[in-house]
Structure 1
Amino acid sequence: MQKIVLATGNAGKVKEFAGLLSDYPFEVLPQSQFNVGDVAEDGTTFIENAIIKARHAARITGLAAIADDSGIEVDALNGQPGIFSARYGGEHGNAEANLQKLLTNMQGETNRSARFQCVLVYLRHGEDPSPIVAQASWEGEIAQAKSGAGGHGYDPIFTVAGDTRSAAELSDDEKNAVSHRGKALQLLLAGLKEKGIL
Structure 2
Amino acid sequence: MNPMKSILIPLLILATIGPGCLPKQMGSKESHQSFAPHSLAAEDYDQAVNQLLAENPPDGKNAEVHRRLSLLYSSALNPRQDYQKAATELELFRELTPEGPARFESEVWRGVVKDVLGTREKLLEVQQGLDRERLELQQTNKKNQREIDRLHQQSKELSGEITQLKATITELETERSKLTETINQLKYLDLNLEKKRKSFQ
> In proportion to residue count, which structure has more helix?
2
Q: What TM-score, normalized by structure 1, do the two folds share?
A: 0.24
Greater C-alpha radius of gyration: 2
Q: What TM-score, normalized by structure 2, do the two folds share?
A: 0.23
